[in-house]
Copies of this chain bind each other. A is one copy, B any other.
Amino acid sequence: MICKIHAHSYDELDDIFPDSIKKTHQRLDILRILYHSKTPLSAAEIYEKLNSEHKDNGYAFSTIYRSLSAFEKAGTIVKTVLTTEDNAVYEYRNETHKHYAVCLKCHKKIPISTCPMHDIIDELAKSIPGFKVTGHQMELTGYCENCSKQ
């Protein structure tokens, strides 16, 4: 089957797909989904998207999980666990990393545009002798506009 749309949308991934792993169409699909998503996605959400887009061929959960860890290992995506869910979510690692405000009621994830940690992280790192900081995670919890009205 010839699929122009895919052939086209794969182009944009050429720059970001890690050289260290094989370029399969499953992995390209997974990375494209994360690349375009505005919020981090769980393995189940990725599975949903894959199998609604490509009804003809199935995508297995094992493939998704294995691809996600391959991307994570390569540094292309980031895995995090939000306090409101008990599953992991994944997102494309933009040069500017993201943080989220999570609604405790409807579980909506609202991206926070700026990273306030940037300025204080070096200072903070000094208070932990010998620890080499490579990253950080931050999350606000509370209630979104809709849910706080009710």
Residues of chain A whose beta carbon lies under 8 Å from any beta carbon of chain B: 79-83, 86, 88, 101, 103-104, 110, 112-114, 116-117, 120-121, 123-125, 127-145, 148
Nearest 9 interchain pairs by C-beta: A130-B145, A81-B81, A133-B142, A134-B142, A137-B139, A135-B141, A132-B148, A132-B143, A116-B120
**A110 cross-chain contacts in B, Cβ below 8 A:** 128, 131
Report if A82-B83 is in contact (Cβ < 8 Å); known contacts: A140-B125, A141-B136, A142-B135.
no
Q: Give the Cβ gap from A145 to chain B, nearest Cβ, in Å.
A: 3
A142 touching B137 in the complex, CB below 8 Å, given contacts A81-B81, A83-B81, A116-B124? no
Task: Give CA–CA (A83, B120) in the complex, Å.
Answer: 21
Q: Which of A88, A101, A104 has the most CB of B within 10 A?
A: A101
Q: How far is the CA of A59 from the CA of B116 in the complex (A)?
A: 43
